[in-house]
Structure 1
Amino acid sequence: MSLINTEVKPFKATAFKNGKFIDVSDADLKGKWSVVFFYPADFTFVCPTELEDLAENYSEFQKLGVEIYSVSTDTHFSHKAWHDTSAAIKKIEYTMVGDPTGTISRNFEVMIEEKGLADRGTFVVDPDGKIQIVEINAGGVGRDARELLRKVKAAQYVASHPGEVCPAKWEEGEKTLAPSLDLVGKI
């Protein structure tokens, strides 16, 4: 079953953000756009490159009113230790959620049960708490924050412009489409 247009399932967790441990829940994803960014594990190889890329683009997401939540099955303590020891992870200002029980990973259907780790899953959640974008990558394939930013802009545009859709490679300010019988077979 697809998670598109489904509401985020309830969860509670502890996270590391800006030098503090904080409580996070599904309620925090409501009222604004959010990105929930799963990765396999702290202190690994592809993961820090992805998280650093997100950190370097975080201000662009913030300008769009988007909050980022990175999630792994590590604890919030591990997130702090990684943040304190890695130059790449030290750049992170967004919320790093600990999911040692795997509840959140299972809720988003990215748990690799035999490993106790999450797949590389990216979820864009709208202000109503509904999932609008789902992307799952193989463990060895890193993601691109700029492409995610483009997709978030497209999702926000479609949400605020009923009757319009964004074509492939759409960038902010470019022409959109208004699906209708007149368009069938003309694209």
Structure 2
Amino acid sequence: MSRYIESQLKPFNAKAYQNGEFHDVSDADVKGKWAVFFFYPADFTFVCPTELGDLADNYEVFKKLGVAIYSVSTDTHFTHKAWHDSSDTIGKIQYPMIGDPTGTITRNFGVMIEEEGIADRGTFVIDPEGRIQIVEITAGGIGRDASELLRKIKAAQYIAAHPGEVCPAKWKEGEETLAPSLDLVGKI
């Protein structure tokens, strides 16, 4: 994707591991709700389980906001099950763990490290219309924070529900927003 923000979720079909079962996941499952696609390099690694565990610890909060979580790596859904069964941290996960061994989804989002066949650490928030609203891509050694992702999602949901308003830096739910206008120019 050359331009991420506002670009449309591309069609995909994949297998996922979730709650002891394998099931199919496609772009049709995502449409109509808020969703996070959380790409990570590989199962059985070091930073990845800390990130996925952090998402698992905050999963109920995401669900209360109506946000579906989809973790994605180029491992298979079988590998996801093996990791889930062998790691206490990964064993907490209740959201779908999508296997993308062909790299189709990873390439659709533009986060494939081609020479390694693995994904960058990429986070994408999709709105109910299937448009990307938030993108975060970090270097392999830099873990992400679920609480910061939740703050950004709350801001995205707020502005989607309140056209004409914007959320300033460090905005938190319940704080004042801005209504851009000629009167505000040069006064912030």
Match of 2:184 in 1: 183
- The one-letter amino acid of 1:172's match is E
Unpaired runs of at least 5, structure 2: none
Match of 1:108 in 2: 109
Match of 2:51 in 1: 50
Paired-residue identity, %: 76
- The one-letter amino acid of 1:68's match is I
1:142 aligns with 2:143: yes
Using the alignment, how far apart are the partners of 2:116 and 2:28 within structure 1? 28
Q: How does 1:20-39 map to 2 (within 5 A)?
A: 20-39=21-40
1:154 aligns with 2:151: no
Match of 1:89 in 2: 90
Match of 1:124 in 2: 125
* Cα deviation, residue 142, structure 1: 0.0
Using the alignment, how far apart are the partners of 1:105 and 1:28 within structure 2? 17
* Cα deviation, residue 80, structure 1: 0.1
Deviations 1:25-70 (A, max 9, x none): 1111111100000000000000000000000000000000000000
* Cα deviation, residue 5, structure 1: 0.3
Using the alignment, how far apart are the partners of 2:176 and 2:125 within structure 1? 23
Aligned residues: CA RMSD: 0.4
TM-score by length of 1: 0.99
Using the alignment, how far apart are the partners of 2:29 and 2:126 within structure 1? 11
TM-score by length of 2: 0.99
SS in 2 for 1:177: coil
Using the alignment, how far apart are the partners of 1:55 and 1:21 within structure 2? 18
Using the alignment, how far apart are the partners of 1:181 and 1:3 within structure 2? 29
- The one-letter amino acid of 1:96's match is M
- The one-letter amino acid of 2:144's match is R
- The one-letter amino acid of 2:14's match is A
- The one-letter amino acid of 1:28's match is D
SS in 1 for 2:88: coil
Query: Which of structure 1's runs of 4+ aligned residues deviate more than 2 A?
Result: none
Match of 2:72 in 1: 71
Count residues in correspondence: 187
SS in 2 for 1:88: helix
Using the alignment, how far apart are the partners of 2:29 and 2:40 within structure 1? 20
1:173 aligns with 2:160: no
- The one-letter amino acid of 1:74's match is D
- The one-letter amino acid of 1:176's match is T
- The one-letter amino acid of 2:143's match is G
Using the alignment, how far apart are the partners of 2:23 and 2:127 within structure 1? 22
- The one-letter amino acid of 2:170's match is K
Unpaired runs of at least 5, structure 1: none
